[in-house]
Structure 1
Amino acid sequence: MQINFEQVLELAHGYKAAMSNFLRDMVAIPSESRNEKAILDRIRLEMEIVGFDKIEIDPMGNILGYIGTGKHLIAMDAHVDTVGPGNTANWTHDPYQGYADDTNIFGLGTSDQAGGMAAMVYAGKIIKEMGLLSDYTLLVTGTVQEEVCDGLCWQYIIEEDGIRPEFVVCTEPSSGKIRRGQKGRMEIRIQVDGKSAHAAAPELGDNAIFKMGRVLADLEQLASTLKHDPFLGKGTLTVSEIFFTSPSRCAVADSCWISVDRRLTTGETVASAISEINNLPSVLETSATVDLYRYDKPSYTGLVYPTECYFPSWSLEEDHRVCKTLADAYSRLFKKNAEIDNWAFSTNGVAIMGRHNIPCIGFGPGEIDQAHTPDEKVSKQDLVDAAALYAVLPTLYVDSLKA
């Protein structure tokens, strides 16, 4: 199919005000994780206005908007939940105001990730208006609980809704680059047990905190030896929390446990990471237990879909059809070559590609360093560029299958 790329850009620019207003409306609706219903109602309304062919809410609460009925299912995703605003005194403008100037829109979730949602919805409108539908169905998802358990929403979509796209575009902020991978992560709990005694006679007890100290030293050493990948970089390990129990401040601690944030590079798995810790001399000597945390909080619909806190790494080859097609779309629209990199943070790709091996690629409006910060913002021009790119990508992909 012939695509008039200049016309696509012109049309996307013409919808800049509409996208900006939609984004400001979303920002004005508090939507912290597990409290997303109101913002999803607003997204449904906008999908109806622009002419989506079918809109559903699944039992977890994810919104699924469809355009077209072709055989090639292509998905684009934005999570709709946010973190909290933190100390609002650090914000120049009300985080829920959606303050806008000539260039940017400010507010909680503008870049992470309501900007991606606004651009996707208006990409659908561009597709409809320009007749860019070919033999594909575009699925636009607004997903829940990502900030507290990344990928859980897509585990549900794939495993329970039975939806398996040919590929998924993740619209997390990408600073104008194509992102084709990310490190994975694990949330690990390590516990050692001891025996309490009066602090005046500590030799009668078994101090769990002292025992954990030996484990901490070994973990610090392990962190320096983790695997390195040329693209994703080195795996990391850090202790993020420490807890204990003791009868009083005048007693020997009888248990101690820590939380470990483990970032996984290519080739590292849940089994290999747990084994590394289990084989540490201090873990063996103290009979420490090493487990994964589990996430089992209900979504706003009340559905509980428990999972281990293991979020695998993923990377798409640079010469993969999906990556090449997105880079081709970028160069045709913007008359320059795309930069291709990875994300330092975690995304829903951990389930899409990490768990289920569905090709995943990333491009989204906003700068990476804006996520989870006061005065978060997104450029209006980023919305325009992303909407144009999303509008042409499905057709170029289907055309590439015929070449």
Structure 2
Amino acid sequence: MSADVLNLTRELVAVDTIGHSESTALAVVAPLLETAGFTVDVAEHEPGRGTLIAEWHTGLGEPPLCLSGHVDTVPLGAASWQHDPFRAEPDGDRLHGRGTSDMKGGVAAIVAAATKIATLRPSRAGLRLVLTAAEETGSAGARLAAERLAGRPSGPLVITEPTGNAVLHGHKGALWLSARTAGVTAHGSMPHLGDNAVYKLARAVTRLESYAFDARPHPVMGGPTLNVGTFRGGLNTNSVPDSAEATVDVRTVAGQDHAAVLASLAERVGDEVRLAPLVDLPPVWTEPGDAWAASVAEIAREITGHGDGSPRAATYFTDASVLTPAFGLVPTVICGPGEAEQAHVTDEWVSITNLAESVAILERVAVAWCGT
């Protein structure tokens, strides 16, 4: 029996997975998949933080279609919520709650579609589900899944991140950097005896403000971007600071090499600054002319009645940054029921209509690939 996407979304939202307890959320879906005939493996990269790999008829002639999403969520924020963030009570066509759009609704759609498909018999290929932990902080769960699936063939990949059920052909990469400077501390009344690390870092950050990438804009993704997100230095007002750190968020486009970007930025900030990667996730791009990707886009347009066929890409990153290269650069699309504008916001919501349409899209994509 297939899972009900509405109730399953609510059950997943009820589990607080803000940076922890993904294994508890996966315990909601694992029995449903096992009952449907999937083999299920849950592995943890740290206690309580599990990633699930479920497989169904993956030994057929063609490699399995892979459906993937993450179950971790971000903090609620300082603002008060008008809706209980862990109840997901229906409100007209909306479910409000942390993770409804990003992206427990997408995970519920994957499980609902997969359990429906498992009632059929494949003639061409099977299904693989990868439901991950710790995507929001750098895709640690996806890295664990890639290790466990190393050497095993995979077909195309669908990531059900929030797109309003539109098909996106890729997303920008994320290169998050720590920029550190060191100095010598001294009494604040005698600064000439010290070496101020804050001044060094401030000079470097000013140079980054006017940094220009040596990259042509991507025809769909646009150009790369850079943002200095944090700046910290010193311990107290009346001492010369002997250390300072800033964090830098670089979003890259298809065709850029992260090692080359890092080298260019290091040259820009100068020898006083030590740059080190915090997150290094490459961009992902599948050409719209790819036959499988084009078929998924057509299915989504037929079911939703939206879309003009123009290729689109996301500015955010997904686990595809890890899974797509690990699977051999398989064709990849992002298509899920949530709304990108609802990700990480107060009173986050997902459309109940979109949840049902997402299940329908995934079912048709799976039927076409698996030959059921």
Are residues 38 and 243 of structure 1, via their aligned partners in 2, closer, same or farther at CA, if it must alter by over 3 Å?
same
Match of 2:364 in 1: 392
Does the 8 A contact of 2:32 with 2:115 survive in 1? no
Q: Alpha-carbon deviations, 1:204-237, whole Å to 9, x = none?
A: 3222211222111111111577652222111111
Are residues 205 and 183 of structure 1, via their aligned partners in 2, closer, same or farther at CA, if it must alter by over 3 Å?
same
Q: Alpha-carbon deviations, 1:87-124, whole Å to 9, x = none?
A: 3x521111011111341211111111111121111212
Which amino acid counterpart does residue 356 of structure 2 have in structure 1? Answer: V
Are residues 46 and 269 of structure 1, via their aligned partners in 2, closer, same or farther at CA, if it must alter by over 3 Å?
same
Counterparts of residues 109-128 of structure 1 (less than 5 Å): 109-128=99-118
Match of 2:169 in 1: 180
Does the 8 A contact of 2:67 with 2:158 survive in 1? yes
Does the 8 A contact of 1:68 with 1:138 survive in 2? yes
Which amino acid counterpart does residue 82 of structure 1 have in structure 2? Answer: T
Match of 1:383 in 2: 355
**Which residue, 82, 86, 92 being the options, matches 1:96?**
86
Instruction: Tell me the secondary structure at the aligned position of residue 91 of structure 2.
Output: coil
Q: Quote how far apart the aligned CAs of 1:77 are.
A: 0.5
Counterparts of residues 55-94 of structure 1 (less than 5 Å): 55-60=40-45, 61-69=50-58, 70-71=60-61, 72-87=63-78, 90-94=80-84
Q: Quote how far apart the aligned CAs of 1:322 are.
A: 2.4
Match of 1:33 in 2: 19
Match of 2:247 in 1: 259
Match of 2:133 in 1: 144
Question: Percentage identity across aligned positions?
Answer: 25
Question: Which moved further from structure 2: 315-324 or 216-225?
Answer: 216-225
TM-score (norm 1): 0.83
Q: Distance in 1 between matches of 2:185 and 2:323?
A: 47
**Which residue, 259, 264, 271 being the options, matches 2:259?**
271
Which amino acid counterpart does residue 251 of structure 2 have in structure 1? Answer: R
Match of 1:349 in 2: 320
Counterparts of residues 312-391 of structure 1 (less than 5 Å): 312-334=282-304, 339=309, 340-353=311-324, 357-391=329-363
Q: Distance in 2 between matches of 1:332 and 1:196?
A: 65
Higher helix content, 1 or 2: 1
Q: Distance in 1 between matches of 2:215 and 2:232?
A: 26
Count of residue pairs the alignment pairs up: 362
Instruction: Tell me the secondary structure at the aligned position of residue 259 of structure 1.
Output: strand
Q: Quote how far apart the aligned CAs of 1:363 are.
A: 0.7
Q: Distance in 1 between matches of 2:199 and 2:24?
A: 49
Q: Distance in 1 between matches of 2:304 and 2:242?
A: 63
Q: Distance in 1 between matches of 2:91 and 2:219?
A: 41
Does the 8 A contact of 1:206 with 1:252 survive in 2? yes
Does the 8 A contact of 1:207 with 1:252 survive in 2? yes
Q: Alpha-carbon deviations, 1:160-216, whole Å to 9, x = none?
A: 332441211000011231011111111211222222233323223222211222111
Does the 8 A contact of 2:175 with 2:258 survive in 1? yes
Does the 8 A contact of 1:67 with 1:124 survive in 2? no
Q: Alpha-carbon deviations, 1:312-370, whole Å to 9, x = none?
A: 11111001122112123234545665643111211111112256523221110021111
Match of 1:311 in 2: 281
Q: Distance in 1 between matches of 2:329 and 2:40?
A: 26
RMSD: 2.4
Q: Distance in 2 between matches of 1:36 and 1:334?
A: 31
Q: Distance in 2 between matches of 1:98 and 1:333?
A: 25
The alignment status of 1:291 with 2:280, answered yes or no, reads no
Q: Distance in 2 between matches of 1:177 and 1:74?
A: 19
The alignment status of 1:189 with 2:196, answered yes or no, reads no
TM-score (norm 2): 0.89
Match of 2:142 in 1: 154
Does the 8 A contact of 2:127 with 2:370 survive in 1? no
Which amino acid counterpart does residue 191 of structure 1 have in structure 2? Answer: R
Which amino acid counterpart does residue 322 of structure 1 have in structure 2? Answer: W
Q: Distance in 1 between matches of 2:103 and 2:348?
A: 11
Match of 1:306 in 2: none
